[in-house]
C-alpha cells in the first residue's frame, strides 16, 4: 500500500464518519489523486480534510464539503452537471466520475487554464 493509498483510505473513513455515505461519491473521491489539484507547497496536506489555498485568492474545497455537496446532488450516470467556479478542477474531476457530462465555468483565466491542463491529463497516480 502506498502512502497516497493510506492517506486516501483515512480520508474516506473520515468522510464516512462525518456523513458522506454514498458509495459512488466515496469511490469517485478515492479514485482521484487530490494532490494533483493542490499547489506544490501544500502537497503534504493534500489528503487532509481541509480547504487549501489556490491562486486568485481562491481555495480547493475541503473534501468533506465536496463529498457532501456531491452526495446531495444525487448525480446519476446519465446526468449533465453545470459547475460554477472550476477553481483547481477537483470538484469537476469528482463529478466527471459520476455524470455523463460536466460543464464547468471559471471567471479567472489562469485558474481555467490550469484546471483544463489537469483535467486533460490523467490524474490517477
Which residues are annotated as catalytic? 61
Length of the chain: 125
Three-state DSSP at 58 gives strand
- Which residues are 103's β-sheet partners? 82
Using CA atoms, how far apart are residues 22 and 10, in angstroms rounded to an integer? 16
Amino acid at each position: 500500500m502506498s502512502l497516497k493509498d493510506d492517506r486516501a483510505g483515512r480520508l474516506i473513513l473520515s468522510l464516512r464518519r462525518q456523513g458522506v455515505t454514498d458509495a459512488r461519491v466515496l469511490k469517485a473521491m478515492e479514485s482521484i489523486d487530490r494532490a494533483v489539484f493542490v499547489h506544490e507547497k501544500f502537497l503534504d496536506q493534500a489528503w487532509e480534510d481541509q480547504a487549501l489555498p489556490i491562486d486568485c485568492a481562491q481555495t480547493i474545497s475541503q473534501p468533506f464539503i465536496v463529498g457532501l455537496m456531491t452526495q446531495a446532488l444525487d448525480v446519476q450516470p446519465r446526468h449533465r452537471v453545470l459547475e460554477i467556479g472550476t477553481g483547481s478542477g477537483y470538484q469537476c474531476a469528482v463529478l466527471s466520475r459520476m455524470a455523463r457530462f460536466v460543464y464547468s465555468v471559471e471567471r479567472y483565466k489562469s485558474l481555467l487554464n490550469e484546471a483544463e491542463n489537469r483535467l486533460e491529463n490523467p490524474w490517477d497516480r
